[in-house]
Structure 1
Amino acid sequence: MTKGVTFDPMYGMPVMHPEHDLPKGVISFSEAMSGKQLDHDNYVGFYENDDQIERFWNHPWSYLPRLSKFAGFIATDYSTGTGIPDPVRRYNVYRNQLTGAWLQSLGFHVLCNVRCPAADYDYFLAGVPHNSLIAIGEIGCVKNPQDRNRFTGGVMRAVDELEPTGLVVVGEDSYGVFDYARSHGVPVHFHSGATERFREGDADV
């Protein structure tokens, strides 16, 4: 996957390029691989439990014949929550960035999937494009007030540091967590129901 990918010089994270095409819709990786009749104008997202998407990481080329029929992708969403040891979080950020950068290197439209703490852990945003559409997964991240506060802080940091041209949110408009983005003139586009297998408890953006 590293062939054709550039890397951030400070943290070694794969670099993704800006994207500006809005997806018509978002479906899950599992749904895309199900064999159902699907609208290929959709983007494929990976907001599922880690074990559901590990097969793509292990054998990415074998899934391209089917996945390449779709209009684009959102980069993978391996777990990066606060309950995970930092070396594992760092590795999962690397994997999320690499899948996106690799697919971009092949010529696909790919939105960067952004999750970041409200402060510190700068490697979360290394290689993430500025002045671009970015994707955020919301489902299961804001029900608990403490998780909601962390999630909202991550949204604020992403808006301030990345200056995105828009947010593509897979989830709902809940508890005002995206009000800060709107107040800064960032359009927020929602796609719900992309999968029934969303992971809960990964509250960092």
Structure 2
Amino acid sequence: MNQDTIKKYNLDLYDMTETIGKYDIPKLYSVEYMPNDLLGFNYVTNTTDKSIGVHFFLDDYQIERIWNRPEFYINKLKDFDCVLTPDFSLYSDMPKSMMIWNTYRSRLIGQLMQKAGIIVIPTVSWADEKTFDFCFDGLPQKGTLAISTIGVRRKQSDYELWQSGVDEMIERCKPRRLMIYGDEVDYQFPENIVVRYYENKNISRLKRLGNGR
């Protein structure tokens, strides 16, 4: 394999001794931390406020650049309070291989950020129950995890899939803290989990514009 191919797939940054599961997903270490506020990754180069965390709950086209230039962007993210791992999409109509690939990429970027000394909070994503076979691989036990409620209230079936994923995540990972990006939902979290919601500022901004403010 030539060097261009190795760099294209970030294989020079992959550590086969730091993986887990049958799909060799990079593993992350646990942290018990929650930031006061979150900023979208698409704004990291345009802000002077580095006292907040960075999230990747964005369209994929806005976050592909960290995969294409990980070292460049990780160097910029070092100055922020903490960083969530990229939320590369998992859709139920994707081929399973694509969903495994996106899970792998999220964990690898997270692992690289941890090695760079960044406080990293793993983002957890799933599509349907078939993705439970791999979507929790590499996640730490008894730490802080992040999830999103964006879009889960469109249909009852969407909410039920979200709920089943949260149930499975809690069973497998036993998080002590849970960051939730988006609106509050009617879900009874165990009392031993500290839960904090974070505003979806893109939606809030659109609502303000719609109200003429």
Name the TM-score class by shorter chain. 0.7 to 0.9
Matches within 5 A, 1:32-51: 32-33=44-45, 35-38=46-49, 40-51=50-61
Higher Rg:
2
The DSSP-based 3-state class of the residue aligned with 1:107 is coil
TM-score (norm 2): 0.82
Deviation of 1:193 (Å):
2.7
Equivalent residue, structure 2, for 1:71: 81
Equivalent residue, structure 1, for 2:114: 104
Q: How many correspondences in the alignment?
A: 191
Residue identity opposite 1:60 in structure 2? P
Deviation of 1:89 (Å):
0.5
Deviation of 1:185 (Å):
2.6
The DSSP-based 3-state class of the residue aligned with 2:18 is coil
Contact 1:47 1:195 (8 Å CA) reproduced: no
Contact 1:138 1:170 (8 Å CA) reproduced: yes
- State whether structure 2 residue 192 is matched by structure 1 residue 185: yes
Deviation of 1:21 (Å):
1.3
Equivalent residue, structure 1, for 2:184: 173
Deviation of 1:4 (Å):
8.8
- Residue ranges of structure 1 left out of the alignment (5+ in a row): 197-205
Higher helix proportion, which one? 2
> How many angstroms apart in 1 are the aligned matches of 2:195 and 2:128?
19
Equivalent residue, structure 1, for 2:154: 143
Deviation of 1:172 (Å):
1.5
The DSSP-based 3-state class of the residue aligned with 2:122 is strand
Deviation of 1:105 (Å):
1.3
* Percent of pairs with identical residues: 23
What are the Cα deviations for residues 132-178 of structure 1, in whole angstroms up to 9, with x where unaligned? 1101021123322111110011011111111100111111212x1x3
Equivalent residue, structure 1, for 2:208: none
What are the Cα deviations for residues 55-79 of structure 1, in whole angstroms up to 9, with x where unaligned? 1110112223432210110000001
- State whether structure 2 residue 38 is matched by structure 1 residue 26: yes
Which region of structure 1 is more displaced relative to structure 2, 146-155 or 60-69?
60-69
> How many angstroms apart in 2 are the aligned matches of 1:150 and 1:32?
32
Contact 1:48 1:195 (8 Å CA) reproduced: no
Deviation of 1:92 (Å):
0.4
TM-score (norm 1): 0.85
- State whether structure 2 residue 129 is matched by structure 1 residue 129: no
> How many angstroms apart in 2 are the aligned matches of 1:79 and 1:70?
24
Which region of structure 1 is more displaced relative to structure 2, 186-195 or 76-85?
186-195
> How many angstroms apart in 2 are the aligned matches of 1:153 and 1:70?
33
> How many angstroms apart in 1 are the aligned matches of 2:121 and 2:147?
10
> How many angstroms apart in 2 are the aligned matches of 1:158 and 1:65?
30
Contact 1:165 1:187 (8 Å CA) reproduced: yes
Equivalent residue, structure 2, for 1:55: 65
Compared CA separation, residues 84 and 4, structure 1 to 2 (3 A):
closer
Contact 1:45 1:74 (8 Å CA) reproduced: yes
- Residue ranges of structure 2 left out of the alignment (5+ in a row): 1-12, 204-213
Contact 2:53 2:80 (8 Å CA) reproduced: yes
RMSD of aligned Cα (Å): 2.0
Compared CA separation, residues 146 and 92, structure 1 to 2 (3 A):
same
Runs of 4+ in 1 over 4 A off after TM superposition: none
